[in-house]
Structure 1
């Protein structure tokens, strides 16, 4: 049976919410996720509280999690060297996630750095992580298209994959930042990149509308991708109010798809239902 890694992203789901979610509620929710059997949980971020106020309690959340009964690994997002150094203080964290955009515009919006500066930052973070026994997950933002008018095509994605591989990136998650991916582009990228870079574990961080989730997941999986990010009920992503618009890939859709194709996600059904209910409590109260 084909094993598939599911990465649950409560950080992505919560970070755009304006109302403050109290730390104990975050802890309770993440604790419920830790019982589900996810490979990794994207638990928070070490970035400027001015940029993302909702994540300013990530350190406190980490210190209150009971990890004694879980095999899930923890990931935290960092946007610069200082954030990486803050994250290194926590033995609970296995992965540092770094958002790297191949759109100059988006990189400036996201981290206030040019692509050239971001390459140097990533290089430093890779060195720091290596020295402290952590791994880096690089997110290739705008991996499937670009709304900002910067040049984009599959060859540019290929060139950046080549550069990141040469720098020592071992896990590369292609991110569909605005939900613009099509099954054709997803298939083309994964079916070309995965065989070419056997040392890299490729992931899919897809955003989607409710009607297009299946074709995107199916295209990625059939093209050989076995690592998928999701957020329960599709919360987060582009924080849009309307159901028709883009959100994170709903984890329950991923679970149902992989059940149908008989892949092994390691998800415990009852625990997942419980976490699903916890998500409803949080995200319907704070928005």
Structure 2
């Protein structure tokens, strides 16, 4: 059984990255500062990727300058897609985690990072080494972890193989990512139970995308199977602009909070500050 503590990861970066209209830097920073007061374990706040690929995140450095970590225990996570991005991100003391999307779909890996799965694994090894030397922690997202729309082969053995490979190089946090909303209670439960048994020391999480009608059954399947690390975004905004994806947003943070409250699980979140962040979000998502 998974003995890891509950960790809630709020993902404003994921929520904002697909919005075409540029969100002013000061507004992004103010929103993230409000989220930092809620008590989430981690805030996925920005990314060091090509501005051509994700124009909305081109000001991550400037946003970081305006982020105040003085009165929060939350840690910051930045997404990177290659070694150059990692080399940039490790220079900032405020950042604890670097997140790398590692796809088990060859087609999506090419679309997302312009490299094959094998090349990406070489990159992961280099980034892990960089993180160890610079006191950062690498989080690997197994993207297309529940299937893919491209016709590439997918099965649980493929996912298991890559979790094995990634854990062998010392990565301790792996999130199974449903980039396009194809997860269901059966595959969530099956993967989690098996991977948790095989890797009791790995902190396994989920980064689920969902339509509103299926989100609670997915959260429940993950929790019952031992998952204690959940990525989500306020009001369920966002999704991956690189994926074939029409209506599947992120799992909403409210759904996860509601599920945990209904099961009498203490989230230790400051709900007044949460309400304030929810209200403020209307200035960004409208």
Settle same-fold status: TM greater than 0.5.
Answer: yes
**Cα deviation digits, residues 149-206 of structure 1 (max 9, x gap):** 0000111111111111112110000000000001000000001111210121000000
In structure 1, the residue matched to 2:111 is 109
Aligned to 1:84, which of 77, 86, 89? 86
In structure 2, the residue matched to 1:182 is 184
Aligned to 1:59, which of 52, 58, 61? 61
Structure-2 change in CA distance of 1:238 and 1:127 (3 Å): closer
In structure 1, the residue matched to 2:160 is 158
Residues matched between the structures, number? 279
Task: Please give the secondary structure, in 2, of the residue aligned with 1:68.
Answer: coil
Task: Please give the secondary structure, in 2, of the residue aligned with 1:283.
Answer: coil
TM-score by length of 1: 0.95
**Cα deviation digits, residues 83-137 of structure 1 (max 9, x gap):** 0010011000000000000000000000001111100100000000000000000
Q: Is the 8 A contact 1:4 1:264 kept in 2?
A: no
Q: 1:129 and 2:144 equivalent?
A: no
**Cα deviation digits, residues 31-60 of structure 1 (max 9, x gap):** 110000000000100011111111111011
Deviation, 1:238, is 4.6
**1:31-42 mapped onto 2 (5 Å cutoff):** 31-42=33-44
Q: Is the 8 A contact 1:3 1:264 kept in 2?
A: no
Q: Is the 8 A contact 2:14 2:240 kept in 1?
A: no
TM-score by length of 2: 0.96
Question: What is the aligned-residue RMSD (CA, Å)?
Answer: 1.2
Task: Please give the secondary structure, in 2, of the residue aligned with 1:253.
Answer: helix
Task: Please give the secondary structure, in 1, of the residue aligned with 2:47.
Answer: strand
Q: Give the distance between the partners of 1:104 and 1:246, measured in 2 at CA.
A: 21
**Cα deviation digits, residues 205-264 of structure 1 (max 9, x gap):** 00000100000000000000000000000110156xxxx931000001101101111222
In structure 1, the residue matched to 2:219 is 217
Structure-2 change in CA distance of 1:111 and 1:238 (3 Å): closer
Q: Give the distance between the partners of 2:218 and 2:97, measured in 1 at CA.
A: 26
Q: Is the 8 A contact 1:3 1:263 kept in 2?
A: no
Deviation, 1:3, is 4.3
Q: Give the distance between the partners of 1:264 and 1:76, measured in 2 at CA.
A: 27
